[in-house]
Amino acid sequence: MYSRGLFLSVLFSLAQLGWAQAPIDPALDAEIHSLAKDESALAKGEAVYAAMCFACHGKGLEGLAGPSLKDGAWVHGGTPSQIFHTLTKGVADKGMMSYEYIYDEATRKALVAFMLSRQEGLRDLQYRLVEVPEKTADPEGVDLETFSLDGLPVIKEGAFENGLIDPAVAETDTFAMSVTGNLHIGIAGKYDYRFTMITDAVAVWIDGKRNALTLDEKRRKVVLKPTELSAGVHAFRMDFVKRKNRPEISLTFYGPKNLTQGAMTVDGHKKLFDSFTFPVETTARAQVRRTRLPGLPGGTVAVGLPEGVNFAVQPRGGAILAIWTGNFLDIGPNIDGRGREPSKFLANPWMIGEPGIQLQIDGEPVPLRLVEYRYEAEQLIFEFAHSGDARVVLRGHVSDGKLHMDYQLKGFDDLAEKHVSLLAPIGTTLEGEAGQFTDQRYTVSSKHASSFSVAIFQAR
């Protein structure tokens, strides 16, 4: 799940954000919409874009110094006339110049038409909340080949903005929602899209056709079959039931390899949170966020335990790279899809940086790759793959106010003849019954080599 690009969740309510937006002009909207079907206008727009705009907005409109121009989130309004207005007037204080006297009106319209033709992801979303169907109470009882929310009494309906499916509208932890809208595909190709951490009851239709779903064996992750999609606009519908014990929903689209960044996402919290804070609260169970963290390599996974002890794990190698006690993370600065800003630790880490607490065999770091994380009995478990079938399973938990890490090494050859150890940075003490801690190295006795637990705390 982590190996390719983005993992984002749908959690936010946007209605109250209130950006300064340009006025909407319906006649101009209609005119530019029809231009977006005119090949010569598109070619003209594309040529100007490639000459003038790519440096700030990216070759594929994915955003660089300027925001993405192909997602559903628009700071200054996303209708064609609003985009035209932004382009005409510029955004002086943010470094986007006015193009009013550089390009004539026809050229500016062609530019907007070109941007429209390259939109990606969901737009124009309508939702209906319906009564939760009885039989989804038993996940095993849901037949994904026939599941739908048709015919159930409607509780509430409305529209979403910016291509964002916002579960907050349900105002409950368990709900059944049907969403319809348009799926924009910028570049034709095979699209792979999946839900993570969601309920087992989900169905997706594209252009009216039900997509075949597969579930991973633990029925936690629904994978939709990779689908060949032509460029343009497709009708989208998704019915799903969210249950209380599934804290997050994310729907992620992965585009063809030739797309810049290799991925697009329709969950839309991109770029709306420039100046916002969004503290992630750790409540009854561990929270996980894969987000940029200050001073740590990209891809590091942050975990907040309910006891107020937090740590960060490196997906390659499985090292513990940071530990902090107190509140977890403010991901607000980084929700922004243009994301240069890392998230903020809400308390100062007392241990941070590479190589961190590192698992070693015979004095060498163990090559590992994060395969997945999952909850088992409300506990968060990380599973890493080594070569062949060998796996390392890692579980962090708190007892006596201290962070404990449980390591399980499965399928390693001749482990009893090898030296398993954990290297820890200065300032950190490791303690446990399975080994000895000297010179910042916790050496595991051979008897415990395949399964041991250490307490990690700040050296006095």
Q: In which residue are the tokens 């038993």 written?
A: 138
Residues at the interface with ligand HEC (CB under 6 A): 52-53, 55-57, 65-67, 69, 74-76, 83, 86-87, 91, 94-96, 99, 111
Which token pair is 200? 């087992």
CB atoms within 10 A of CB 391: 16
Q: Least distance in Å: CB of 65 to ligand HEC?
A: 6
Q: Least distance in Å: CB of 308 to ligand HEC?
A: 36
Q: Least distance in Å: CB of 278 to ligand HEC?
A: 18
Which 3 state secondary structure label does DSSP give 410? Answer: strand
Partners of residue 431 on adjacent β-strands: 455
Task: Report d(CA 4, CA 385) in Å as an integer.
Answer: 16
C-beta closer to ligand HEC: residue 79 or 428: 79
Which 3 state secondary structure label does DSSP give 383? Answer: strand
C-beta closer to ligand HEC: residue 98 or 283: 98
Q: Quick one: how many helices (H) and strands (E) in the chain?
A: 6, 29
Which 3 state secondary structure label does DSSP give 429? Answer: strand
Q: Least distance in Å: CB of 180 to ligand HEC?
A: 25
C-beta closer to ligand HEC: residue 68 or 136: 68
The percent of the chain in helix, strand and coil, each rounded to the nearest 5, is 15, 35, 45
C-beta closer to ligand HEC: residue 46 or 216: 46
Task: Report d(CA 302, CA 334) in Å as an integer.
Answer: 13
Residues with Cβ within 8 Å of residue 440, at least 6 apart in sequence: 423, 424, 425, 426, 428
C-beta closer to ligand HEC: residue 84 or 384: 84
Q: In which residue are the tokens 């590479």 written?
A: 354
Dihedral angle sign, alpha carbons of residues 9, 245, 167, 194: positive
C-beta closer to ligand HEC: residue 91 or 152: 91
Backbone torsions φ then ψ of 88, nearest 5 degrees:
-70, -45
C-beta closer to ligand HEC: residue 69 or 405: 69
Q: Least distance in Å: CB of 404 to ligand HEC?
A: 45
C-beta closer to ligand HEC: residue 59 or 94: 94
Q: Least distance in Å: CB of 108 to ligand HEC?
A: 8
Q: Is omega for the bond preceding 153 within 30 degrees of 0, making it cis? A: no
Q: Least distance in Å: CB of 191 to ligand HEC?
A: 24
Q: Least distance in Å: CB of 86 to ligand HEC?
A: 4
C-beta closer to ligand HEC: residue 95 or 295: 95
In DSSP notation, 304-338 reads E-TTSEEEEE-TBT--EEEEEES--EE-HHHHSTT
Q: Least distance in Å: CB of 260 to ligand HEC?
A: 16
Task: Report d(CA 452, CA 449) in Å as an integer.
Answer: 7
